[in-house]
Structure 1
Amino acid sequence: MTPTNVISSQDRLVLFGLGLFETLLISESGPLFSDLHWNRMKKGASFLNLKFPDQSEWTRLIQEFIRLNPASFPFALRITLSGGSPGTDLPAQLFFNVRPLPYRPEQYLRGIKLHLLSAPRNEHSPLVSIKSTNYLENLLAKETAVRYGADEGIWLNTKGYLCEGTMSNLFFIKDNKLFTPSLASGCLPGTRRYTILELADILNIPTEEGLYTVEELLASDELFVTNALMGLMPVCCVNDVSFTVSPPAAKDSLLRRLESAYKQKMSGYP
Structure 2
Amino acid sequence: MIPCETLLSHDRLVLFGFGVFETLLITEEGALFVDLHWQRMNIGADLLSLQLPEKTEWLSRIQEFIKQSLSPLPYALRITLSGGAPLANLPSKLFFHERSIPYTPEQYSQGIRLHILPTLRNEHSPLVSIKSTNYLENILAKETAKLQGADEGVWLNTKGYIAEGTMSNLFFIKNETLFTPSLASGCLPGTRRHLILSLARSLQIPTQEGLYPLSDLFLADEIFMTNALMGIMPVCQIDDISFPITPKSKTKALDLAYKTLINKHITTY
Q: TM-score with structure 2 length normalisation? A: 0.97
Equivalent position of 1:261 in the other structure: 257
Matched residue of 1:229: which SS? coil
Query: What amino acid sits opposite 1:178 in the alignment?
Result: L
Query: What amino acid sits opposite 2:263 in the alignment?
Result: S
Matched residue of 1:263: which SS? helix
Number of residue-to-residue matches in the alignment: 264
Matched residue of 1:118: which SS? strand
Cα drift, residue 246 of structure 1: 1.3
Cα drift, residue 70 of structure 1: 2.6
Equivalent position of 2:50 in the other structure: 50
Residues 21 and 41 in structure 1, CA contact (< 8 A), matched pair in contact too: yes
Matched residue of 1:117: which SS? strand
Query: What amino acid sits opposite 1:140 in the alignment?
Result: L
Write the mapping of 1:91-130 to structure 2, written as runs, cut at 5 A: 91-130=91-130
Greater mean deviation of Cα atoms: 51-60 or 72-81: 51-60
Equivalent position of 2:237 in the other structure: 237
Query: What amino acid sits opposite 1:255 in the alignment?
Result: T
Matched residue of 1:138: which SS? helix
Cα drift, residue 235 of structure 1: 0.1
Aligned partners of 1:210, 1:160: CA distance in 2, in Å? 13
Which aligned runs of 4 or more in structure 1 are off by greater than 3 angstroms?
none
Aligned partners of 1:69, 1:177: CA distance in 2, in Å? 42
Equivalent position of 2:70 in the other structure: 70
Residues 20 and 133 in structure 1, CA contact (< 8 A), matched pair in contact too: yes
Aligned partners of 2:175, 2:54: CA distance in 1, in Å? 43
Write the mapping of 1:117-156 to structure 2, written as runs, cut at 5 A: 117-156=117-156
Query: What amino acid sits opposite 1:108 in the alignment?
Result: Y
Equivalent position of 1:186 in the other structure: 186
Aligned partners of 2:225, 2:201: CA distance in 1, in Å? 18
Query: What amino acid sits opposite 2:265 in the alignment?
Result: Y
Gap runs ≥5 in structure 1: none
Q: Is 1:164 the counterpart of 2:164 in the alignment?
A: yes
Identity in percent: 62
Matched residue of 2:234: which SS? strand
Cα drift, residue 68 of structure 1: 1.3
Cα drift, residue 69 of structure 1: 1.7
Cα drift, residue 269 of structure 1: 1.8
Matched residue of 1:134: which SS? coil
Cα drift, residue 5 of structure 1: 3.3
Residues 4 and 93 in structure 1, CA contact (< 8 A), matched pair in contact too: no
1:218-262 Cα distance to aligned partner (Å, 9 max, x none): 000000000000000000000100000113xx2xx1100000000
Residues 20 and 44 in structure 1, CA contact (< 8 A), matched pair in contact too: yes
Q: Is 1:197 the counterpart of 2:197 in the alignment?
A: yes
1:85-120 Cα distance to aligned partner (Å, 9 max, x none): 000000001000000000001110000000000110
Query: What amino acid sits opposite 1:72 in the alignment?
Result: P
Gap runs ≥5 in structure 2: none
Aligned partners of 2:56, 2:87: CA distance in 1, in Å? 30
Cα drift, residue 59 of structure 1: 1.2
Residues 178 and 205 in structure 1, CA contact (< 8 A), matched pair in contact too: yes
Equivalent position of 2:4 in the other structure: 4
Greater mean deviation of Cα atoms: 54-63 or 235-244: 54-63
Q: TM-score with structure 1 length normalisation? A: 0.97
Matched residue of 2:91: which SS? coil
Cα drift, residue 168 of structure 1: 0.2
Query: What amino acid sits opposite 1:48 in the alignment?
Result: L
Cα drift, residue 55 of structure 1: 1.4
Residues 161 and 212 in structure 1, CA contact (< 8 A), matched pair in contact too: yes
What's the C-alpha RMSD, in Å, of the aligned pairs?
Answer: 0.8
Matched residue of 2:259: which SS? helix
